[in-house]
Structure 1
């Protein structure tokens, strides 16, 4: 997950920085640092990614246009 994907995922879920930080068990400053593109420990990025995935985000691999995000379809859609 890169900084752009994190911002896109937060926008898609409607989570604020504080909301995501609480869900991931990190500080709001840590989320902000990730979104600025600063290097974080792999475990920290994994915790943030896991929290976003739990909120319904699917991380998309590089497809020629860069990596992206999508929302998981709910059953019945």
Structure 2
């Protein structure tokens, strides 16, 4: 589908410079930006971004649970 989009001069210049820097077309950048915006707005609460969901952690870091044995045991009466 094709349609016309009117931009102010400053926005058009920034778009052209960004497209040139990234090796993209203006239409390609607009398409990607619109898709990202629609995904955020139409999915309700999309949750965490893929970058966070796919993160595997730092390999040399011990798991959080490894420190549990350093904790003091709970009091018998938690309200005392």
TM-score of the superposed pair, with normalisation by structure 1: 0.28
Tell me: higher relative CO, structure 1 or 2? Use CA pairs within 8 A at least 6 residues apart: 1
For the pair shown, which has the larger CA radius of gyration, 1 or 2?
2
More strand by share: 1
State the TM-score, normalized to the length of structure 2: 0.27
